[in-house]
Copies of this chain bind each other. A is one copy, B any other.
Amino acid sequence: MKQIHVGMLGCGTVGTGVARILLERADLIRARLGADLVLKRVADIDLTRDRGVRFGKGVLVDDASVVLEDPDIRIVVETIGGETVAKDLILRCLAAKKHVVTANKALLASQGNELFSEAMKYGVDLAFEASTGGCMPVIKTLREALVGNRIEEMIGILNGTCNYILTKITEDGSPFEKALADAQQKGYAEADPTLDVEGFDAAHKLAILTALAYGMQINLADIYVEGISRITPMDIEYAREFGYNIKLLAISKDRGDRIEARIHPTMIPFDNLLSSVRGPLNALTFTCDAAGDILIYGRGAGMMPTASAVVADIVDLARNLLHDSGGRVPMLSFQPEHIRNIPVLPMAEITTRYYFRIAAQDRPGVLSAVSGILGDYDISIKSVHQKGRKTNGSVPIVMITHWAKEADVQKALAEIASLDVVGDAPVLIRIEDDNEA
């Protein structure tokens, strides 16, 4: 039986999951691959912790060089995380002509262009299914299953922490802080939840997906990012009265010579399948010219789901090694000479539909003043409700607009905020509603 030797850098949660699959499912993988995947060396600074995995003698080492310098090892799994040590070690692996598997979305989103270019230089593959959407095969689907399709848009729930918190607010009416505390207690949110709740983690994933979908460089800096920390039970309740749930959506659309790429809380109709994705689950819809809508749903994080995707990448690379077919699928989905610099549309220039909540004094003429300003900016109202309940001495006016331009909306809301009769800053939540396209 042929053997493919695998090394691992970092054996924390995901690394342990990968080791567990490689060891405990060795028979199953052999039956499918037709070769043995041998986990030869695992480097981690902690040699003593009980990971619940029985490594063979000498497998676990505390020196990454042992992995890097082992000539038998053709595939290295990077499960260290972070952007400094991980990057340095990946570069050394690539230079040593070892194929690399990583789940490191932050690193790929910020420095992927350099890493992929190095991998190409050395003629090896850098595989990253686990970086985006945990166990969901979104990279494979984009690069292979949809290869005959123009990708028109991608809309997804790519952060389980946010989706858990929003589900909790929706179903229990908890305020954000309470829902966050609950997520932390259940292990769905980190002690410092910023990366997740402010949308950065979802932005990392969207940066990677956007590059692959449209054949462009990875461009994290131009993605608009807005988190969920200001979402209130009140807005969720009003959204539901309009037939919408609020989700943190990653949205990317092909606008011809420009790309939209943005992360923000978004209202979507109940009959959109994304609306039914509850708790820490993730999902991503690809809208394509031939296939139509394809949605993939699953666990976007966690030890074993992420390990599942890492192992799929290892086996893919092992298949390439067994058939000497490295580089069979281009890493960024397009051949390098076809990767362009497509600009991301500035947020001010997008058009979409909006929900506003305006805290107004309960006086005659307020609605007329507000709608007058909206009219001045060409924003037409689809539906408006003046709510009976006073909050902080004012009565909320909630409204849904027809399609409008973000720049106009921002200017109009600033003007509305400056009205004497308007209290707190107006709340804006964008809407994705295909039923009203």
Is the Cβ of B325 less than 8 Å from the Cβ of A136?
A: no
Map CB proximity to B onto A119-159 as digits: 1 under 8 Å, 0 otherwise: 00000000001000011110011011111111000000000
Decide if A59 is an interface residue (CB 8 Å cutoff): no
Chain A, 189-230, contact with B by CB distance < 8 Å: what is the 0/1 string?
000000000000000000000000001000000000000000
- Which stretch of A175-183, A297-305, A376-384 is in the interface? A297-305
Tell me the smallest distance from the CB of A419 to a CB of chain B, in Å: 42
Q: Does A278 contact B (CB under 8 A)?
A: yes
Q: Are B308 and A319 in contact (CB under 8 A)?
A: no
- The verdict on A403 contacting chain B, using a C-beta distance below 8 Å, is no
Interface residues of A in 21-75 (CB under 8 A from B): 21-22, 25, 28-29, 31-34
CB pair B271 A315 closer than 8 Å: no
How many copies altogether?
2
A135: which B residues are within 8 A, CB to CB? 145, 288, 290-292, 294
Report A23 CB to chain B, min CB distance, Å: 11
Contact of A277 among B273, B298, B316, B323 (CB under 8 A): B273
Complex formed: what's the CA distance from A278 to B25 in Å?
37
Chain B residues near A12 (CB-CB < 8 A): none
Q: Which residues of B contact A290 (CB under 8 A)?
A: 17, 21, 25, 135, 304-305, 307-308, 311
Q: Is residue A320 within 8 Å, beta carbon to beta carbon, of the partner chain?
A: yes
Confirm or deny: A329 has a beta carbon within 8 angstroms of a beta carbon on chain B.
yes
The reply to whether A32 and B140 contact each other, CB–CB distance below 8 Å, is no
In the complex, the answer to whether A328 meets B335 with C-beta atoms within 8 Å is no
CA–CA, A17 and B149, complex, Å: 12
Chain A interface main SS type: mixed
- How far apart sit A133 and B320, CA to CA, in the bound complex (Å)? 27
- B298/A298 in contact, CB under 8 A: no
Known interface pairs A296-B294, A319-B328, A328-B325; A335-B34 also in contact (CB < 8 Å): yes
Q: Does A324 contact B (CB under 8 A)?
A: yes
Q: Quick check: A31 and B334 within 8 Å, CB to CB?
A: yes
A231 proximal to B (CB < 8 A)? no
Q: Knowing A34-B330, A34-B335, A291-B298 are in contact, say whether A148-B324 is a contact too (CB < 8 A).
A: no
| Residues 266-325 of A contacting B (Cβ, < 8 Å) | 271, 273, 276-278, 288-299, 304-305, 307-309, 311-312, 315-316, 319-320, 322-325
Question: Measuring CB to CB, which residues of chain A are less than 8 angstroms from any residue of chain B?
Answer: 17, 21-22, 25, 28-29, 31-34, 129, 134-137, 140-141, 143-150, 215, 271, 273, 276-278, 288-299, 304-305, 307-309, 311-312, 315-316, 319-320, 322-325, 327-330, 333-335, 338
- The 5 A-B pairs at the shortest CB distance, nearest first, are namely A148-B311, A137-B145, A323-B325, A135-B291, A325-B325
20 sampled A-B residue pairs with Cβ under 8 A: A25-B290, A32-B143, A32-B335, A34-B330, A135-B290, A135-B291, A137-B137, A140-B141, A145-B309, A147-B312, A148-B307, A148-B315, A273-B273, A273-B276, A288-B308, A289-B304, A292-B304, A295-B295, A323-B328, A324-B324
